[in-house]
Structure 1
Amino acid sequence: MKAAQITSFGAPDVLRVNEVARPAPGAGEVLVSVEASSVNGHDAVVRAGELKMMSGRRFPIGTGLDFAGVVVETGDGVEGYRAGDRVWGMVHPRQRHTTAGAAEYVVVLADRIAPAPEGVSSVDAASLVVAGATALLALRDSVHAAKGERVLVRGAAGGVGTAAVQLAHALGCHVTALARERHAQVLTSLGADEVLDYGTTTSDRLGPFDVIVDTVGTELNCYRSRLTKGGRMVTVGLSAPAMAAIAASTVYGSRRIRTFSANPGTAVLRDVAAHVTSGALRPVVDGVYPLAEITAAHEAFERGGSVGKQVVAVSA
């Protein structure tokens, strides 16, 4: 089979599409024929060598955290899935993979997949696996956003940002999106009540907010200061300065900065699918690239400035 792999740490040009042996499912595992995968921040930092503790230093390393496709074969002990089922899921983000979601086939434990939402193409589904799960876990489980609260989504035009805008709107929150001015129309259509240009709007001109969802990971203390008493902030844009700000914020009680590593299993993926089926969450795709052009997909991701996800169409 063909699989995209990291051949050394560095820029997108270290990616290669290689011929490798097709994996076989073991006990409790499922073999999926991948139709699409997307580019996530996790993929970029692994490729850049920023997560060597998890990826290891032995090459090649697989890339592609998420995927959507069709079950081909199940291993011993797997119940609830059979060949031909459409599914979506993700590989474990804290384990090393020689091949991952950006490949013609992927093997994962059955508790890392769920039925894909009906009526959604695999390209669209792949754009929502990590983004939808991360936004849902941030709003629902981390900061417990509630109806009527004022929510700021920082980095609102990205994959997680566009999903967070939609889910916060579905919760009945007043949503302020911080993004490029040119993305205002799209973000308004997704449910943002207000869109502010991040290039001209400084943090001291914002707020107050009950909830802040940050996908950028910079100036966290400046934004934390815009919380109401009892307000909550979560960031998924991790960096060394971000971790320092998170640690320092623990003295602020409920106004501390929260973070988490999105690692959804079947239950969360089912919940995301339910939001897609209900119409509360829809895909936002900026570009679609064949597997052979995965380098270009990563380059587009790193350039930024787009709205939504970069998706790699494997066999969709």
Structure 2
Amino acid sequence: MRAARYDRYGPPEVLYATTVPRPVAGPGEVLVRVHGSSVNGGETKARAGGIKVITGFRFPQAIGMDFAGEVAGVGAGVDVVAPGDRVWGFLGRTTRGAAAEYVVVRPGLLARAPEGVDLVEASALPGVGTTVITALRDKARLQAGERLLVRGASGGLGSVAVQLGKAFGAHVTALASRANLDFVRELGADEAVDYRTPLGELGTYDVVLDTFGDRPWAWRRLAGPNGRMVAVAFRGVADVAYLAAAPLLPGRPLRFFSGNPGHALFADLTRYVESGAIRPVVDTVHPLERIADAHRALEAGGVRGKHVISLR
């Protein structure tokens, strides 16, 4: 099968498409024919060597974490899905390799994909969609009528957060570049604000969702008297240290989590898509052979939704 690999840490150019043995579903496993896989910030950091303590020094390494496709086969003991079923899911917190024509995954890490959505486009959602559901519904407990600020509103996470915030009945303020203000309004934002606006001019909010990740101590101040902030990204060591210490510090609640979605969360995401609350937002679809272009474009910024890799 075709798959993306890299033989050393470095810039996007280290990525290449190659041919590797097709995996086989063992007992309790599902073989999925991948139609699409998205490009995530954590993967670009891994490819660049930013998390070597996790990814190690054995090469070649695979890339890609979430996927959408069709069941191609099941191992012994699997009866929750069958060949031909449309599914989407996640390989696991520390497993990569979804940028390939086939993947083997445990049933608990996938769910039925939404009907009426192309599977390549659908692949834009599993990772970011489940992260935003966890952030807004489970961590922040966003309520109808509350004021939500989304930082990084035009990106993969932010574009879903704007949509889900509106579906929950919140008043959504979206921070984005000037070029993307109309875009986030089209997603449903009640207000679209240039991200360069000084923090002191932004007011206060019931929920602050930070998808960018730097200076959480500064953004935390925008949470109002009963406000809370959820950070779903980080940029540097100082940011991580602050997030780790935040539960012990006075001030508004600040929550940070590492996504590890399972079947129930993917099934919730399917229901949100089928209800019309969320739709996939795709910046560009890249063939596997141009995966380096996708990584390069994500790192350049200014993304509208997700870059996805087509395996069809």
TM-score by length of 2: 0.97
Match in the other structure for 2:265: 268
Aligned equivalent of 2:17: 17
Instruction: Report how far residue 236 of structure 1 moved.
Output: 1.2
Q: How does 1:173-184 map to 2 (within 5 A)?
A: 173-184=170-181
> Which residue of structure 2 aligns with residue 226 of structure 1?
222
Alignment TM-score, normalising by the size of structure 1: 0.95
Q: Write the letter of the residue equivalent to 1:185.
A: D
2:186 maps to 1:189: yes
Deviations 1:207-232 (A, max 9, x none): 21110000111121111111112211
1:263–1:23 distance in 2 versus 1, CA, 3 Å: same
Contact 2:70 2:83 in 1 (8 A): yes
Match of 1:71 in 2: 71
User: 2-side partners of 1:105 and 1:280: how far apart?
Assistant: 30
Name the counterpart of 1:29.
29
Alignment check: 8 A CA contact 1:13 1:295 kept: yes
Number of positions where the alignment pairs a residue of Structure 1 with one of Structure 2: 311
Partner in structure 1 of residue 288 of structure 2: 291
How many Å separate the matches in 2 of 1:306 and 1:123? 18
CA contact under 8 A between 1:231 and 1:254: conserved in structure 2? no
Q: Deviations over 1:228-281 (max 9, x none)?
A: 122111111123222122134323467132111111111000101111001110
- Within the candidate set 233, 238, 256, 1:259 is matched to 256
Q: Give SS of 1:139's match.
A: helix
Change (3 A) 1:3 1:229: same
AA in 2 matched with 1:14: V
- What does residue 211 of structure 1 align with? 207
Aligned to 1:91: 91
Q: Provide the C-alpha distance between the structure 2 equivalents of 1:20 and 1:137, rounded to a whole number of angstroms.
A: 35
- Counterpart amino acid of residue 214 in structure 1: D
Q: Which runs of 5+ in 2 are unaligned?
A: none
**What is the root-mean-square deviation in Å for CA atoms of aligned residues?**
1.3
Counterpart in 2 of 1:158? 155
TM-aligned CA deviation for residue 197 of structure 1: 0.3
Counterpart of 1:169 in structure 2 is 166
Residues 104-153 of structure 1, C-alpha deviation per residue, up to 9 Å, x if partnerless?
A: 10111111111100000012100111111111111011111111111100
Q: Is the 8 A contact 1:4 1:17 kept in 2?
A: yes
Tell me the distance in 2 between the aligned counterparts of 1:241 and 1:147: 34
The match for 1:246 is: 243
Q: Which moved more, 1:248-257 or 1:64-73?
A: 248-257
Task: Say whether the 8 Å CA contact 2:225–2:252 is kept in structure 1.
Answer: yes
Q: What amino acid is the match of 1:274?
A: R
The question of whether the paired residues in 2 share the 8 Å contact of 1:154 and 1:213 is answered with: yes
- 1:111 match: 108
8 Å contact from structure 2 (residues 80, 107) kept in 1: no
